[in-house]
Amino acid sequence: MAKRKTKYVCQECGYETPKWMGKCPGCHNWNTFVEEVEASSSSSRHTFQTQPGTKSKPEKITAIHSEEEPRVTTKMPEFNRVLGGGIVPGSLVLIGGDPGIGKSTLLLQVSSQLARKQMNVLYISGEESARQTKLRADRLGVTSDNLYVLAETNLLDISNQIEQLNPSFVVIDSIQTIYREEVTSAPGSVSQVRECTSELMRIAKSKGIPIFIVGHVTKEGSIAGPRLLEHMVDAVLYFEGERHHTFRILRGVKNRFGSTNEMGIFEMKEEGLREVKNPSEIFLEERSQGAAGSTVVASMEGSRPVLVEIQALISPTSFGNPRRMATGIDHNRVPLLMAVLEKRVGLMLQNQDAYVKVAGGVKLDEPAIDLAVAVSIASSFRDQVSRPDDVLIGEVGLTGEVRRVARIDQRVQEAAKLGFQRAIIPAKNLDGWSTPNNIEIIGVNTVQEALKVTLGGN
Ligand SMILES: Nc1ncnc2c1ncn2[C@@H]1O[C@H](COP(=O)(O)OP(=O)(O)OP(=O)(O)O)[C@@H](O)[C@H]1O
Ligand SMILES: [Mg+2]
């Protein structure tokens, strides 16, 4: 009997080696190699080809038809926006998220809305039986004769069913449970995930069916399986939120048919996910007005401004090294801004613990929030309260200068709409901008100036 050949494959990047290794030379991660049996027949390679027999020829770009394909829209504008205006026919979209965050719920609701539009929808669950899916559907109030449920994990059977039913929308929940028989490794391994995705890609492209696949997320927060999965699909969306909050955020991280960084906000309710139309109001709802260490920032999330509270707590260190903790913002920004406050403003922060938090479980990752973080820290340290109707916008440089930010008018308008009285913004942003008259605008050049305006004193 021929000896079975095995190889070791890195589960992060797909690097292959005949011997086990502790550290992957490809992506430098530790303990990522898993033994897999090599597929015996060399013919399996051929079946993965996208379209056997067809050879493509170079064409003049001017001669190619570029009709914008009509997008399919759902009744959830938040969902449509994250996709760049709706579902593109023939696209393959990956939705990743922590366990239990609501991926199946979201896709079942989307499926039901499409089914109500007289589209045939096939929801394939590899994790739950058809009855379990039905139970969820009952809870969500999903009923439609055009929605089909299939509990199946074998990709060949799945593709046969797709062939037979010829649906206009397919959901695969989840890619980690689907397998191809020709590939010997276990479902969820790099080879399985890669091969199954490429087959689904072929089905989507050749039949023009949009396919949404659910992907699990590893402890580090990336989609389990190789990074190259993200390269293969047309769009990657992350569904995130804090377990203890009911808010869920759908974020685009890659999109071949629209801008990324769009964000859709939902609220998880007993009867399913509900859209949040005015996120700023919700994020500011529980704000404790008049408390030291709290400020409000107008941050851009994709093309939309949202107002979010930033809280800081500064307290003396009890033992040894001071702690610096940040939730919802890049934790490296906190020590950096504290160093700027120390050096440029003269606040003695080196023996203080600092905890900075974005309220409501949102994550903000743009530099325009710097000024609000810095003022929150100073406000908590000095125990001085800033006015609750101030909104702060600006990036802070290492010399303590407040730098220009993009889309200042949209941010300020959103603040004015919510009743804020003063916007403290970078002075540079005032050039060539006719400021609105429903809100007072104060331009500042340095952090020190901003502190003077908001907290008073020097
Ligand atoms: N009866 C219920 N009432 C209210 N909320 C519920 C109820 N049942 C489930 N949920 C919510 O739905 C969430 C589970 O959603 P769902 O199964 O869609 O998540 P998922 O991301 O698909 O999870 P998995 O990774 O396990 O597939 C729960 O975390 C809970 O918040
Ligand atoms: Mg699920």
pLDDT digits 0-9 by tens, 389-448: 999 999 999 999 999 999 999 999 999 988 999 999 999 999 888 888 899 999 999 999
Q: Could you read off the pLDDT of 57-85 as tens digits, one per residue?
A: 888 888 887 776 788 999 888 899 899 88
Ligand nearest to the CA of 99: 1
**Can you read off the two tokens belonging to residue 20?**
């086990």
- Mind listing the pLDDT tens digit for each residue in 341-384? 999 999 999 999 999 999 877 888 899 999 999 999 999 999 99
Q: What is the pTM of this model?
A: 0.77
Closest to 307 in 3D by CA, of 359, 346, 272? 359
Q: How far is CA 307 from CA 55, 209, 356, 406, 443, in A?
A: 53, 38, 17, 16, 19
The finding on whether 103 has its CB within 6 A of some atom of ligand 1 is: yes
- Scan for tokens 């050949």, then name that residue: 5
Q: Over 60: is that where the pLDDT of 49 sits?
A: no
Question: Would you place residue 43 in the very low, low, confident or very high pLDDT band (cuts 50, 70, 90)?
Answer: very low
**pLDDT tops 80 at residue 90:** yes
What backbone phi and psi angles, to 5 degrees, belong to 296? -120, 135
Span from the CA of 237 to the centroid of ligand 2 (angstroms): 15
DSSP state of 343: I
Give the pLDDT band of residue 53 (cuts 50, 70, 90): low
Strongest mean pLDDT among 26-35, 36-45, 236-245, 386-395: 386-395
Please, how many CA atoms are within 13 Å of residue 222, restricted to the half-sphere of its CB? Answer: 9
Q: Which two tokens stand for residue 450?
A: 């901003």
Q: What is the pLDDT of residue 428?
A: 94
Residue 220 confidence class, pLDDT cut points 50, 70, 90: low
Q: Inform me whether the pLDDT recorded for 45 exceeds 50.
A: no
* Beta strands in 281-361, from DSSP E residues, in sequence order: 294-301, 304-316, 324-327, 352-358
Smallest-distance ligand from the CA of 123: 2
Q: Is 268 in the pocket of ligand 1 (CB under 6 A)?
A: yes
Q: Which helix (H) or strand (E) holds 95?
A: strand 92-97
- Does any ligand 1 atom lie closer than 6 A to the CB of residue 22? no
Which pLDDT belongs to residue 64? Answer: 81
| Residue 185 preceded by cis peptide, ω within 30 | no
Split at pLDDT 50, 70, 90, the class of 4 is low
Indicate which atom in ligand 1 lies nearest the CA of residue 239.
21
Say which residue, 303 or 201, is predicted with more confidence: 201
Answer for the pair 128, 107: CB distance below 8 angstroms, yes or no: no
Instruction: Tell me whether strands 304-316 and 352-358 are parallel, antiparallel or unpaired.
Output: antiparallel
Ligand 1 atom with the smallest distance to the CA of 106 is 18
Handedness of CA 138, 139, 143, 147 (dihedral sign): negative
- pLDDT band, residue 262 (cuts 50/70/90): confident
**CB 268: neighbour CB atoms within 10 A?**
17
Residues whose beta carbons lie less than 5 angstroms from ion ligand 2: 104
- More confident position, 220 or 130: 130
For residue 103, what pLDDT is reported? 93
Distance (angstroms) between ligand 2 centre and the Cα of 216 equals 9
- pLDDT in the model for residue 292: 92
Record the tokens describing residue 428, joined without a space: 């540079």
* Minimum mean pLDDT range among 82-86, 184-188, 227-231, 248-252: 227-231
What pLDDT, on the 0 to 100 scale, is given for residue 47?
Answer: 44
Determine the Cα angle at 46 with ends 43 and 47, to 5°: 100
Percent of the chain with pLDDT over 70: 92
- pLDDT of the residue at 48: 44
Q: How far is the CA of 104 from the centre of ligand 1 (A)?
A: 8
- Which one, of 358, 344, 377, lies nearest residue 445 by Cα? 344
| Tens digits of residue pLDDT in 101-126 | 999 999 999 999 999 988 999 999 99
Ligand 1 centroid to residue 105 C-alpha, Å: 7
Q: Point out the ligand 1 atom lying closest to the alpha carbon of residue 216.
A: 25
Ligand 1 center to residue 272 CA distance, Å? 9
Residue 339 has what pLDDT?
96
Cβ(293)–Cβ(380) under 8 Å?
A: yes
Mean of pLDDT over the chain:
87
Share of the chain above pLDDT 90, in %: 53
Reported as half-sphere exposure (CB side, CA atoms, 13 A), residue 71 has a value of 17
- Kindly report the protein residue whose alpha carbon is nearest to atom 15 of ligand 1: 102
The ligand whose atoms approach the alpha carbon of 273 most closely is 1
CA–CA distance, 22 with 31 (Å, rounded to integer)? 5
Mutate to test the pocket of ligand 1, among 94, 95, 98, 103 (most ligand atoms within 8 A of CB): 103
CB-ligand 1 contact for 104 (6 Å cutoff)? yes
Report the separation in Å between the CA atom of 406 and the middle of ligand 1, taken as the mean of its atom positions. Answer: 38
Ligand that lies nearest to the alpha carbon of residue 108, given by its number in the listed order: 1
**Residue 31's pLDDT is what?**
87
Q: Residue 450: its pLDDT value, please?
A: 95
What pLDDT is stored for residue 226 in this prediction? 57
